[in-house]
Amino acid sequence: MAASIDIRVPDIGEYDSVEIIEVLVAQGESVVAEQSLITLESDKASMEIPSTHAGTITELVVNVGDKLKEGDLIARVTSEAPAEAQEKPTATESQTTQAASAGSANVGRVIVPEIGDFEEIEVIEVLVNVGDVVELDQSLITLESDKASMEIPSSIAGKITSMAVSVGDKLSQGALIAEIEGSAATAETPAKAAPQPAESETATASNPVTTAPVANKPQSKTSPTQKLADESYRKAHASPAVRKFARQLGVDLSLITGSGRKNRILKDDVQEFVKSAMSSAGSNYGGAGHAGAGIPSIPEVDFSKFGEVERVEMTRINVLTSENLHRAWLNLPMVTHHDDADITETEAFRQSIKKEAADQGVRVTGLVFHIKALTAALKQFPRFNSSLSADGQSLFYKKYFNIGIAVDTPNGLVVPVLKDTDKKSIYELSEEMTDLSTRARDKKLKPSEMQGASMTISSLGGIGGNGFTPIVNPPEVAILGITRAKMQPVWNGEDFTPRLMCPLDLTYDHRVIDGADGARFMAHYCKVIGDIRKMLLY
């Protein structure tokens, strides 16, 4: 018999608001399993979301411009698949259904719903009081873990008769939040996870704001004034998304008056505050001709007065990549170290295995040897395989070795990541790199395949050049640039001999790596890439 199946957004990594740029099907259309339904585009890549079932689309619930996260409904498909193929309700949905069928009591208990693997999450806000009348899905409290904040809404409409939590309490799944007297209260109802805030309150990658510092930097010792400011910040009436947005911009929420319902602070309020601060900073640095941090702005030019022009909009990836690189350029003190590596013997070995590799259906390029050499160098210099904490006070040393590879695509630059490069052979890495590069150009990469790099390689060897200055991709602390190798005469102590020399460019975050360590790293790297036997030592 026919079954109606919900097609939802699959696991797309840590992204929680990815824009739809294409809807590839229409309501009433028949689709096959794995046929692409929509195209999403984040700040790093585009991806197509396929249908998990074959059938006829009976309802299409998304449009171009909508922003989706994991689990959001895309469409409903009527399929001839057996009923068992339909998705099973989640544990939370089952609990809610069971609770709803328990009858209508006068007082219901609202408890913490399923919140994943988190335990003992701190309550940072209590948004209601005993005696308040609340609506269905009105937020009661805000929890904050080390990774995210979430508001817990009421699953009952009615009057709060008791509150079981206070700011600072730590709660786990199933903990009692409140008792509410309502007309259809259940004996015990788990609250549903809070929905994502509306677009006006959600920080999106498409509208980043670069600001001058508008908040005091954290002090090493908390003063009474700072304690008072922290308390005001905690009490500010704003959603977790707006709080995160404000933290990213360094904005003190206690200084903002909200324009939302009950003076709730919206994303627009934060942006207006930042604009005001930037205008003030600009006037301090010489008026309208300067941007917020005292950087002179580039005046707009009417190019049409010089001749015929055509205006072509940049792709979303182009725009967001430029913004990310600009942010890195402004925030990281970067130094680039240039060197040349003798890869004569390595290239000779690569040429010697080309036929053997081709027989196995693998194309081995010089880049794969650089991946293995970089992995070996990271083992020897673990500081390069680290990331600086947000407060700049500590380093996170990574015990894994994942290498990002910058890939040039028609839509812009993307960086797929080869995972566990220390555990894979030259052939395995070559096969995986070919697959990732192909899917990057076809916009088939998953967000998880572009995250978690230890360090990135940007290679222009296939194009040319004698050197360049690559920009570090935060939160990484270094990036390796490679340009085309060429035969050069090298003095060996007795005479000049022809050697294949490869120009290398290492850019690093000078807050983490000093010049001496950068030079040592490159000297070691040149030895390893010049003699593939040394790769076996690390």
Pick the closest to residue 490 from 481, 500, 502 (CA basis). Answer: 500
Alpha-carbon distance 455 to 376, whole Å?
Answer: 12
Cα–Cα–Cα angle for 401, 403, 405, rounded to 5 degrees: 175
Secondary structure of 215-232 as H, E, C letters: CCCCCCCCCHHHHHHHHH
Nearest-angstrom CA–CA distance, 416 and 404 = 6
Q: Residue 453 and residue 476: Cα distance in Å, rounded?
A: 7
Distance (Å, whole) CA 12 – CA 227:
38
The residues annotated with a catalytic role in the active site are 510
Among the listed residues 140, 117, 238, the one whose alpha carbon sits nearest the alpha carbon of residue 189: 140
Cα distances from 436 to residues 234, 433, 443, 519, in angstroms, run 44, 5, 10, 31
Give me 254's structure tokens.
């206690």
- Alpha-carbon distance of 200 to 267, in angstroms, equals 6
Q: Shortest CA distance to 149 belongs to which of 109, 115, 108, 177?
A: 115
Closest CA to 511 of 474, 468, 480, 457: 474
